[in-house]
Chains A and B, each alone.
Chain A
Amino acid sequence: MHAFSRMITVLFLPVLITTVSGRSLYAAENGRILPHETVQIIVTTNEVTIGTNFTGIDLFIAGVLENSDPLVRRQGRYDIIVTMESPARPMIMRKKERRMGVWVNADSLTFFNVPLYYALTSTRELRDITVPETYNRLGLGIKNLPLRSASPDKEKTAAFRKELVRLKTQQHLYSERTGAIAFGSPSLFSTRFPLPANTPVGNYIITAYLFRDSSYVDEVSTRLEITKEHLAYSIFRAAHRYSFRYGIAAVIMAIIVGFTGRLLFRRD
């Protein structure tokens, strides 16, 4: 639900395809209305196509800090976190145990909304940017992904969640790279997200969060579509979308191979 509500937010923003302008927040300061700092991000493409020879790429993202206070900037009191998140899917975690000498799947837990991909980059260590409560409220960071489990058992959920994150990290699908945002000029920053070969397809959301003196100031989102274009993926898609016709095709292929073999090497 989290990712979904975030998508809704994005839809109501004045969105261009590659750039999304940030919300301008206004606040009273010294009796005057001052424009607040905002953040904007630019992704050079709005679609990444994974081909046959795709071994993984780095997705570059540039961003601008607007209306920033030069003094605060110079003192390095602005912090930025950028996340990239794929759509969420229900996933099952299974745990093997030894039963009568044999290792079997003995326990399992379903999580209803697991992002298939989640990456975070930041200007500094997360603990130096803001307090855990803020991260929690924003649902920011792997630790705060709002994964809903099918079990009321808190201890089990926590244990399985830990293993889920470990497996996802092992598959290079979850990552947190602190200090990976670099400022090219006082108000321009850039970062990159590693997209491994096994990057899942779908509509991704990239969100930049701006913090000033460890308090949340602004956020902005943009979307990115990741698609796969190669024969193997077309076959996969056919098997799932047109499974009946796929089955017929498999049968016809087998019959053809059977008869070809007979023609090639006549036995009698």
Chain B
Amino acid sequence: MSIYLPIAEISINMLVLLGIGAIVGFFSGLLGVGGGFLITPLLMFYNIPPTIAVGTGANQVIASSVTGALSHFKRRTLDIKLGILLVIAGLVGSLCGIQLFSLLRRMGQLDLVISLLYVILLGAIGLLMAIESWRTISRTRKGQSPIVHRPGQHSWLHGLPFKTRFRASMIYVSIIPVLGIGFFIGLLSSIMGVGGGFIMVPALIYLLRVPTNVVIGTSLFQITFVSIFTTIMQSVANQSVDIVLALLLMAGGVIGAQYGTRTGRKLRGEQLRILLAMLILAIALWLAFRLLIRPGDLFTLIQDTG
């Protein structure tokens, strides 16, 4: 069941790719995360060039966020004004990211930077998740209620200028952190091929104090538009989107997500959350290990496209 990926230019087992899509889809359905941060390293695990893994990751994110964004839009459970500002900053961030991506590729340091960023990102997410799940589990065992994150009263963010009112979110904040968050997510989208929801959701909640009922919708709204833009830019600037690969991942993801949601209804996520944390940490360690061992061939030959 081997299939030739036209852009990655390698043959790979189709079931493996559907499987990767399904695993990631399962966790995204279960925990409500986009899963882009799992796709790219798992593809690198199967020797798909990081460049292609990242470009294709952005494409895959569209499929997993577009329907959610639309249903939140219909139900008006999003802050349009905040969303649009985040999108604009996101597009600028994505554009800068693409330039950086091309530059690093020309310098021959792209694979290294992607690997390092993933080691840092996955290491941090994995640790945080593991610690938090462990705390929740041990608290539940002791009969205490899980910790409720209580936003603090005031932060330095409220001292910034250019304040504006976001009616749907009922907040009055400076647009500087809004644009900053949007820009950063755009950068992540183009350099790492992720949607960035796992960073944007906590940032909106804890930094901007956006109420939880509009957070997911606003985040999906931004992710959809930014990932659409990133996919097109990656295609144009780096030819790094493999649609055959993307199609298989998305097909697997759609199926996996269904089982994830069903499983999520039946049982509490904490144990599975720890499992995912372990998986993430394992991937991070493997990526770090790969940078440290001596490669089989010190030389590589590539066509000069620049």
Contacts and interface: CB of A to CB of B under 8 A. Distances in A.
B236 interface: yes
B304 A251 contact: no
Given A95-B299, A96-B298, A253-B243, A247 B304 contact: no
A217 to B, nearest CB: 36
> At the interface, is chain B mostly helix, strand, loop or mixed?
helix
A253 B247 contact: yes
B304 A91 contact: yes
A103 to B, nearest CB: 6
Nearest to A248: B232
B238 to A, nearest CB: 9
A137 interface: no
A258 B62 contact: yes
A33 to B, nearest CB: 50
Contacts of B302: 91-92, 94
B173 interface: no
A150 B216 CA distance: 52
Interface in B219-259: 228, 231-236, 239, 241, 243-244, 246-247, 250-251, 253-255, 257-258
A94 B304 contact: no
B6 interface: yes
Contacts of A265: 254, 258
Given A236-B7, A250-B231, A257 B108 contact: no
A110 interface: yes
Interface stretch (B207-215, B274-282, B287-295): B287-295
Given A240-B239, A254-B60, A261-B67, A247 B299 contact: no
A247 B109 contact: no
B239 A239 contact: yes
A231 B243 CA distance: 12
A225 interface: no
Interface residues of B, number: 50
B51 interface: no
A254 B304 contact: no
A105 interface: yes
Contacts of B172: none
B224 to A, nearest CB: 9
A158 interface: no
A164 B241 contact: no
B306 to A, nearest CB: 9
B63 A105 contact: no
Interface in B6-61: 6-7, 9, 59-60
A258 B63 contact: yes
Contact of B67 (A105, A163, A262): A262
Contacts of A102: 112, 291-292
B6 A235 contact: yes
A11 interface: no
With a 10 A CB-CB cut-off, give which of B62, B257, B292 has the most chain A CB atoms.
B62
Contacts of A167: 297, 299-301
With a 10 A CB-CB cut-off, give which of B246, B292, B299, B304 has the most chain A CB atoms.
B299
A4 interface: no
Interface in A81-111: 89-98, 101-105, 108, 110
Contacts of B235: 239, 243-244, 246-247, 250
5 contacts: A164-B299, A232-B4, A232-B5, A247-B235, A257-B250
Interface of B: 4-7, 9, 59-60, 62-67, 108-109, 112, 228, 231-236, 239, 241, 243-244, 246-247, 250-251, 253-255, 257-258, 261, 291-295, 297-304
Shortest 5 CB-CB distances between A and B: which pairs? A247-B235, A261-B254, A247-B232, A254-B62, A90-B304
Given A91-B302, A164-B299, 20 more contacts: A93-B299, A94-B302, A97-B298, A102-B291, A110-B304, A167-B299, A231-B6, A232-B244, A233-B6, A236-B7, A247-B241, A251-B62, A257-B250, A258-B62, A258-B65, A258-B66, A261-B63, A261-B250, A261-B257, A261-B258
